[in-house]
Amino acid sequence: MIYFSPAKINIGLSVLARRPDGYHSIESLLYPVPLHDLIEIQAIESETNRIDLRLSGCPIEQSQPNSINKAYFQLAQLFSLPAVRVYLHKQIPAKSGLGGGSGDASTFLKAMISQFKLKLKEGQLFDLALQNGSDCPFFLQSQPAIVTGRGEKLEAFTPILNKLFLVLLFDEKGISTREAFESVQIQPYSPKLADLLQEPIESWRDQIFNDFEAYAFRQMPELLAKKQSLYEAGALYASLSGSGSVVYGIFKTPPAKTFKTPHWKGYL
């Protein structure tokens, strides 16, 4: 069976405080995007608790443990798992701010539980996902949600982008999330994001911001140029997603402009 792991964009991202546990308190709307990584899981004849992960598609760093491997061995601490061969085809670029690795981990956890009929206690799946990353719990449902805390507190939010058109502009370079958080300037408290999102989307440009943009645009000035190109093409709203390095634009209809940079586009 093939499982589809979606991307997400951040609409607004405020870093509110540095926490004693080393994380940061944030506020953001996470919104699922119909751009997916593809995951296939096959049981194989081998010793138990063994995973053979095979990668294709967008390149990812292999110096760090893959989130799917990590998720597998989390489950292996709780169950005697069959050996599996996992094919991961990446369409979501790494370090893009689209949540690809987090989504892969959460989708894989759900797939393993379903495919091999594993029984977890209430709340246990959420806890396993959170161990993989602060935004992993969001991908267990992949429905629009306002996230607070370190990103693990989710409040369901009404879909507000239905029938609007989305353009993602990619960059081959990635931005380190850790370095982005270290460099961000904590801003004074601003009006609640949920209230601002009720305003017409055309007003978001002057009211809803991503606190990582200043750092990302210093590191990669071409990202600022891409954001400006989206507005020039008629975007209602444009922003960096997460800590980058993707900028996106939301349009009423597909833009007439052709973007030379690698991109994805489609309706939400």
Tell me the fold of 165-267. Answer: Alpha-Beta Plaits (3.30.70)
Confidence at residue 73, expressed as pLDDT on a 0 to 100 scale: 95
Confidence at residue 189, expressed as pLDDT on a 0 to 100 scale: 65
Confidence at residue 1, expressed as pLDDT on a 0 to 100 scale: 86
What is the SS3 assignment for 209? Answer: coil
Where the chain has pLDDT below 70, the residues are 63, 188-191
Confidence at residue 188, expressed as pLDDT on a 0 to 100 scale: 67
Spatial separation of the C-alpha atoms in residues 21 and 83, rounded to whole Å:
35
N- to C-terminal Cα separation, the chain: 25
Alpha-carbon dihedral angle through residues 206, 29, 181, 261, given to the nearest 10 degrees: -70
Confidence at residue 110, expressed as pLDDT on a 0 to 100 scale: 97
Confidence at residue 233, expressed as pLDDT on a 0 to 100 scale: 97
DSSP-assigned letters across all residues of 181-198: HHHPPPPPP-S-HHHHTT
- Cα–Cα–Cα angle for 211, 70, 85, nearest 5°? 125
Buried-state track 127-154, b at ≥16 Cβ within 10 A, e below 16: ebbbebbbbbbbbbebebbbbbebbbeb
Residues whose CB is less than 8 angstroms from the CB of residue 193 and which lie 6 or more positions away in sequence, other chains included: 12, 14, 27, 28, 29, 146, 208
Q: What is the pTM of this model?
A: 0.93
Q: Where are the domains of the chain?
A: 2-156, 165-267
Catalytic pick among 104, 135, 171, 211: 135
Q: Is 135 one of the catalytic residues?
A: yes
The CATH code for residues 2-156 is 3.30.230.10
Q: Give residue-wise pLDDT tens across range 3-26.
A: 999 999 999 999 988 888 878 889
Question: Which amino acid is present at 56?
Answer: S
Q: Give residue-wise pLDDT tens across range 193-245.
A: 999 999 999 999 999 999 999 989 988 999 999 999 999 999 999 999 998 78
Spatial separation of the C-alpha atoms in residues 67 and 133, rounded to whole Å:
9
Q: Is 110 one of the catalytic residues?
A: no
